[in-house]
Amino acid sequence: MTEMVYGVVPERDGEPILPKWWRTVDRWSMSCVLLLFVIGLLLGLAASVPLAERNGFHPFYYVTRQAVFGGAALVAMWLTSMMSPTMVRRFAVMGFVLFFVALALLPLFGTDFGKGATRWYSLGFASFQPSEFLKPAFMVTAAWMMAASREINGPPGTLWSFALCGAIVLMLALQPDFGQAALVLFGWGVLYFIAGAPMFLLLVMAGLAVMGGSLAYSNSEHFARRIDGFLSAEIDPTTQLGYATNAIREGGLFGVGVGEGQVKWSLPDAHTDFIVAVAAEEYGLILVLIIIALYTIVVLRSLLRLMRERDLFIRLAGTGLVAIFGVQAMINMAVAVRLVPAKGMTLPFVSYGGSSLIAGGIAVGMLLAMTRSRPQGEVAELMRRRAG
């Protein structure tokens, strides 16, 4: 009866780790992530060649690096997905402490690579963006704190997580990186809502977010310039948004053909923030819809599996992870079609970027660990046992 109600099978004593992992993991979501990575390599072959030539590298320099980083990301995803929820929690809490300190030290030791925002550590052979790793670690840590606060005589975990969220948002805003700050705040808000937050407090938080945005608009030229460009009635054809909009329009339904696109020669971020514009121009709306469908499958399947989970920590952590994964993808694609202001946010597993790929692999690995099939037992039977 348990299998019929919850769609899971009981654990088998002494079962080897790999067969048990393969039997319980969400193979559909994992397959979608693999397809997204393959699509990212395909688009990288087109989008990164002009950048490599401008920087004096061999034509497939960035594609090779994306394959290496992506391979590391997939290994990280596989290893993390094999962890138990308890191991994921411990791993995330330790990672949160490490990357929180790294984020705090960015103003002293970080670099902006000439982009006007101090977001990276330069390692010589590569760069490292701590905020990418901090996001999934914070979601799991905040979920742990909120779940603990719901226990009898539990700590004020919700308040602690909110204080940490505020500190992270402040540090990100000072870089400035308002896109990541908004994503972290949104993820925490989702956790708070799922944990049973009063609607009044959520409305107060929304009002504070609007006030914070108004304050940032008044005091940050970087933020104001992006908002003004988004609200402008006309798009400057020489800006990144102008190039991206024209590329999407030219692509139509089936695209202009593989290698025939022109936007990659004009957009400096064609291989990262505006990779969807390259996809739309060369492969058309068909490929863009396939990409959207793959993200949608991961989000919906994860949420459906989490709905069957009775452990509050697992439910909260999984929901927070899938929320930031899906919303980041949505924001990246929405920027390309001018539905939201430019955010400087990558498309998970598709855009180029070592930090983004590896952190995304860890985040999805933790999500797969949380959504693995576990014997839940029937609620009525559990209530009878407790009553007895």
Give percent of the chain above pLDDT 90.
47
Q: What is the mean pLDDT of residues 239-264?
A: 80
Residue 4 has pLDDT above 90, yes or no: no
Residue 245 located in a structural domain: yes
pLDDT of 90 higher than 80: yes
In a domain, residue 384? The reply is: no
Structurally, the chain folds into a number of domains equal to 1
Higher-confidence residue of 337 and 107: namely: 107
Say how far apart CA 229 and CA 232 lie, in whole Å: 5
What is the DSSP code (8-state) at residue 128? E
Which tokens in the block code for residue 32?
């979608």
Query: Within a domain: residue 385?
Result: no
Q: What are phi and psi of 120, to 5 degrees?
A: -125, 155
Q: What is the pLDDT of residue 199?
A: 75
Higher pLDDT, 267 or 297: 297
pLDDT in the model for residue 345: 85
388 located within any domain: no
Could you report the per-residue pLDDT of 342-360, keeping only the tens digit for each? 777 889 999 988 899 999 9
Beta bridge partners of 121: 128
Given a cut of 60, is residue 388 above it in pLDDT?
A: no
| Within-domain flag for 382 | no
116: left (phi over 0), alpha (psi -120 to 50) or beta: left
Q: How many CB atoms lie within 10 A of CB 97?
A: 12
Please tell me the predicted confidence (pLDDT) of residue 59: 84
- Span 154-198, pLDDT tens digits: 899 999 999 999 999 999 988 888 889 989 999 999 999 998 877
Report if residue 193 sits inside a domain. yes
111 beta partners: 120
pTM of the model: 0.88
Strands (E), the chain: 121-122, 127-128
Q: What is the DSSP letter of 111?
A: B
Q: Label residues 329-339 b or e (16+ Cβ within 10 Å = b).
A: bbbbbbbbebe
Judge residue 292's burial from the number of C-beta atoms within 10 Å of its C-beta, 0-12 exposed, 13-18 middle, 19 or more buried. Answer: middle
pLDDT band for position 378 (cuts 50, 70, 90): very low
- The answer to whether residues 313 and 369 touch, using CB atoms and an 8 Å cutoff, is no
pLDDT confidence bin for 29, thresholds 50/70/90: very high
Give the mean pLDDT of the chain.
Answer: 85
Domain contains 386 = no
The domain of 120 spans 2-377
Neighbouring residues of 5: CB distance < 8 A, sequence distance ≥ 6: 378
Distance CA 27, CA 313 (A): 23
Residue 115 lies in a domain: yes
Peptide bond before 176: cis, by omega within 30 degrees of 0?
A: yes
- Record the tokens describing residue 322, joined without a space: 């899938």
Of 379 and 280, which is predicted with more confidence?
280
